[in-house]
Structure 1
Amino acid sequence: MSAAERDEYERLRKAAHGRHRRLRYAVTSVLLLVAFLLAPLAVVAAWVDSEVSDTDRYVQTVAPIATKPSVQNTVTDRLTKRVVDSVDVAAFTDAIGRTLQKEGAPPQVVQGADALTGPLKSALSSAVHSVVNRVVTSDQFSEVWDNANRRAHAAVVKVLTGEGDSAIQAGTDSIDLNIGTLIEEVKKELVNAGFDQASKIPEVDKKVTLLKTDKLNEAQDAMRLLDVVGTWLPVLVLVLSALAIWSAPRHRVALMATAIGIGIMMIVLLVGLAVMRSVYLDSVPSSVLPKNAAADIYDTFIRFLRNSTVTVLVIAVITALAAYLYGPSRPARWVRGMAAKGTGATGRALARQGLRTGETGRWLATHVKWTTGIAIGGGALALVLWNYPTPGAVALILGIVVLVLIILGILAAASGPERRPPAADGRSAPTPA
């Protein structure tokens, strides 16, 4: 082959290599873009799926609502008004007036009976409010709340799909809480407090509107879709990310880019949740629910979604930082060098004290990449198997992995001097100092 032919062959080979490299970059970019766009939706879908399928998780989500002072005050005020409104105080005072008139009481006394309507209603309101507040703020109310939600976990399905019966029900444009059990308890407490007439209180409206919105149907449609893809969408994001890293010409850079991109999308999701909170509070009329109660309900209901988003963000930051520290940059080399010096010095100090690891330590030193990979993989597996991990769980697993890597480095450095084979004259070769 002539020099010209070799040059032409080399030119064609480089051109083909360049096209192949550009194609890999294009494939990686497309996969990463899709993974980034789906990442927030995957977090939301997984949260919805857990709320629908896991009864304990759902009860754990809604349980704090019953202990919020703003919600307790709202329920107390609404229930007091309904109970007092069901009592016809005017008819009672009219009956007193007629009785006094029949008994021949002076006209001034008979007319004064009508003036009792306001004070009696005020006294009744005060007494009922006190009893209702005692019931609502008691542990019994929290137990009733939890048991009702646990027995009727279909509440979430009812809200999201409009199907089934539960304590929490979805209407055409509202989400309502059925407080029938609480009303019966209040009646019993009133009778026990000396208000015998409370047992004759007629049936009142047993629903308290928690949320009123004209977008409920659209939200239910969206939630049904999220429920369907809740299990597989996170898996799809992981698969796309893995394929993008595998197809990239530089795997470490792709891993770092993936972590940074997903981290940014988690920040976008957190901002979106904050914006949705403001939109929700603006959409709830004060006549339906006080702003502080609406804020407490929203914050309580989505707190696990917010925690999951922060957890993914923390994982993304740790992954990006780890990928950077494995790179060729000067700060990364300095960090690795300082870590190696620290574990090496500790291991050699143990060896001088007679605590040598021998062949085991030398094997660890030889297979450091394998042991590091196994330790990191074990941490990742623990995180995957962790039921609803939190940022604290991520920090705990990270600490354990770092501790294991430090121990492995110390054990590798504590192997002691390697034994040399016998010399040609039959004497052992001297070991290096």
Structure 2
Amino acid sequence: MNPAATPAPPDSGGASHQKHVMTAEERAEYERLRRHATVRHRRVRQAGSSVLLLLALLLAPLAVVAAWVQDTVSDTDRYVETVAPLASEPPVQEVVINRLTDRVVANVDVKAVTDSLTRVLQDSGAPPRVVEGAESLEGPLRNAVRTVVDRTVTRVITSDAFQQVWEGANRRSHAAVVNMLTGEREGAVRAEGDTVQLDVGEVVNEVRERLVDAGFDKAAAIPDTDRTITLFHTEELGKAQDMMRLLDILGTWLPVLTVVLAALAVWTAPAHRVMLMITATGVGVMMVVLLVALAVVRRVYLDSVPPTTLPTDAAAAIYDTFVRFLRDSTRTLLVVAVVTALVAYLYGPGRPARAVRTATNRGTTAAGRGLHRAGVRTGSTGRWLTDHRAWTTGGVIAAGALALVLWNHPTVGAVALVLGIALAVLIVVAVLAAAAGPTAGHEDRAAAP
């Protein structure tokens, strides 16, 4: 619709034909309808972006847990790395030492030894005081046996050889984790009814062999049964197994789906930078929620384990060891979210953001000019960097993001390292651009707002 009147073309037969000229009322109505369409379009985009953001935030904690489960179950090295510290945890070692010592001492019939000694003394006509003294040897003898057994077991459990045996056994029985999650009754870690148990059979064999070699022939009678330690007891194990199976299946695609939804939320929103800042902040909040949930689950787990089954410090060591990589991943994503939100804010029009950009530009410009006056001139390269500053900045940020994506299990330290390198590269690029020296055209662009 054109408000201007235009004359008819020459071949129109000379007829005077003009297009309709909008009146003031018609133009006002036209502008109102156009604004309404624009507002409606923005509202639709905002609504769609909000729905995508909500889905991404709800899936973010599940995606982290699913990736952790899938990674721990499918990667043998990762699984061994997860459970290996248990062999060197003092509370866990103390539990294993006490359990094995009790079982060995229970198989040594000290009373039979003292009774036999008493009969021999009686038959040989020893004085009554000597016979009574032999009868009272049961307690000291039992304590002596326990001391020797405890020393032997402790030497085995705290040795490097035990840690190697532990890691080797877990590497060979990596399928035990899958069995526990799926309810199978095989492997070192398995589900028995509503309990999860740890099989220490190989440790028992090692201790039994060491005791027999040390002269305790009775240790050969240590039974092959009752070789498990209950890790935890819960009536919700069946539901947890179902959830773990689902998370294992979705472990590969759920994180991808979450990232895609978050990217679509940012791309669909009318204000991309603002939505990126909101998305990063929301992801950071969800990671905090996940950390709080892990702390709550830890408390519930410790409360559900009777002290007679497993001491609290040992149960805490087991829980913390198993979920430490999940905690590390959650903290890493929290730091990445905070950094992303901060970068998005610094690119905005806020007064603090402008102050930071201004101070940075002044610093790099002063450093570049100092190099220029010292005879270090970057010439055309520096001018090219000045003309393509947005592209170089975006390239450095993309390279940092790609490095984190390709990093095998990045930690908070890895994020800090990549961030530091990216900032250093951006500063160097800015200094090199300023060291080119101003030209007429570049001075005009530098003076432009």
Establish whether TM, by shorter chain, passes 0.5.
Answer: yes
How far apart are 1:186 and its partner, in Å? 1.8
- Provide the rounded CA distance (Å) in 1 between the counterparts of 2:98 and 2:72: 30
Matched residue count: 420
Indicate if the aligned counterparts of 1:212 and 1:288 stay in contact, CA closer than 8 A: no
Amino acid at match of 2:174: H
* Aligned equivalents of 1:238, 1:9: Cα separation in 2: 41
Q: CA deviation at 1:156?
A: 1.3
* 1:46 and 1:230 in contact (8 A); partners too: yes
Q: Is the 8 A contact 1:83 1:204 kept in 2?
A: no
- How far does residue 152 in structure 1 lie from its aligned partner after superposition? 1.2
- CA distance change for structure 1 residues 125 and 197 in 2, over 3 Å: closer, same or farther? same
Q: What aligned pairs does 1:156-167 form with structure 2 within 5 A after superposition?
A: 156-163=177-184, 165-167=186-188
Q: Which amino acid aligns with 1:293?
A: A
Q: Distance in 2 between matches of 1:213 and 1:103?
A: 60
Post-superposition Cα deviations, 1:116-157, rounded to whole Å, max 9, x if no partner, equal: 333222221121111111111111111111111111111211
- 1:4-43 equivalence runs, <5 A: 4-43=25-64
SS state at 2:197 partner:
strand
User: Quick check: 1:216 aligned with 2:261?
Assistant: no
Bigger CA radius of gyration: 2
User: Equivalents in 2 of 1:58, 1:202: separation in Å?
Assistant: 30
Residue 277 of structure 2 aligns with which residue? Answer: 256
Contact 1:245 1:255 (8 Å CA) reproduced: yes
Structure 1 residue corresponding to 2:300, chosen from 273, 279, 290: 279
> Paired residue for 1:53, among 51, 74, 90?
74
The aligned amino acid for 2:163 is S
User: Aligned pair 1:291/2:317, yes or no?
Assistant: no
The residue aligned with 1:267 is 288
Contact 1:49 1:226 in 2 (8 A): yes
Counterpart contact for 2:232–2:301, Cα < 8 Å: no
CA contact (8 A) 1:263 1:316 kept: yes
- Kept after mapping to 2: 8 A contact 1:32/1:241: yes
What pairs with 1:20-419 in structure 2 (closer than 5 Å)?
Answer: 20-103=41-124, 113-163=134-184, 165-203=186-224, 205-418=226-439
Letter matched to residue 126 of structure 1: T
Aligned equivalents of 1:116, 1:354: Cα separation in 2: 94
- Which stretch shows the higher mean deviation, 366-375 or 197-206? 197-206
Identity, % of aligned pairs? 62
**Separation in 1 of the partners of 2:237 and 2:164?**
29
1:104: how far off? 5.3
> Matches of 2:50 and 2:181 in 1, distance apart?
35
Alignment deviations for residues 57-88 of structure 1 (CA, whole Å, 9 cap, x no partner): 11111111111111111111111111111222
What SS does structure 2 have at the residue aligned with 1:39? helix
- How far off its partner does 1:114 sit? 4.1
Mapped partners of 1:229, 1:26: distance in 2 = 27
| Alpha-carbon offset, residue 196 of structure 1 | 4.0
Letter in 1 for 2:200: I
Which whole-Å deviations, capped at 9, do the CAs of 1:353-392 have from their partners, x for residues lacking one?
2221111111110111111111100100111111101000
Distance in 1, Cα, partners of 2:152 & 2:268? 68
State the superposition RMSD in angstroms.
Answer: 1.9
Paired amino acid for 1:37: L
* 1:207-263 alpha-carbon deviations (Å, 9 max, x no partner): 222223232222111111111111111111111111010010100000000011111
Kindly provide the amino acid, as one letter, of the partner of residue 286 in structure 2.
Answer: M
Provide the rounded CA distance (Å) in 2 between the counterparts of 1:45 and 1:184.
Answer: 36
Q: Is the 8 A contact 2:194 2:236 kept in 1?
A: yes
Runs (5+) with no aligned partner, structure 2 = 1-21, 442-449
- Maintained 8 Å contact 1:155/1:165: yes
With normalisation by structure 2, the TM-score equals: 0.89
Q: Counterpart of 2:316 in structure 1: which amino acid?
A: A
**C-alpha deviation, 1:34, in angstroms:** 1.0
Task: Name whichever of 346-355 and 86-95 sits farther off.
Answer: 86-95
Cα separation, 2, equivalents of 1:399 and 1:164: 49
* Partner residue in 1 for 2:18: none
1:288 partner SS: coil
Please, which runs of 5 or more residues in structure 1 have no aligned partner? 421-433
Matching residue's letter, 2:145? L
CA separation of 1:202 and 1:383: change in aligned 2, threshold 3 A? closer
In 1, the alpha carbon distance for the partners of 2:134 and 2:76 equals 55
| Larger CA deviation: 146-155 vs 408-417 | 408-417
Contact 2:107–2:218 (8 Å) recurs in 1: no
Moved more, 302-311 or 215-224: 215-224
Q: Which of 166-175 and 321-330 deviates more? A: 166-175
- Aligned counterparts of 2:100 and 2:222: Cα–Cα separation in 1: 13
Asked if the contact 2:107/2:221 (under 8 Å) is kept, the reply is no
- Normalised TM-score (structure 1): 0.92
In 1: Cα distance, 2:281 partner to 2:226 partner: 52
Secondary structure in 2 matching 1:302:
helix
- Letter matched to residue 44 of structure 1: V
Secondary structure at 2:409 match in 1: coil
The one-letter amino acid paired with 1:294 is A
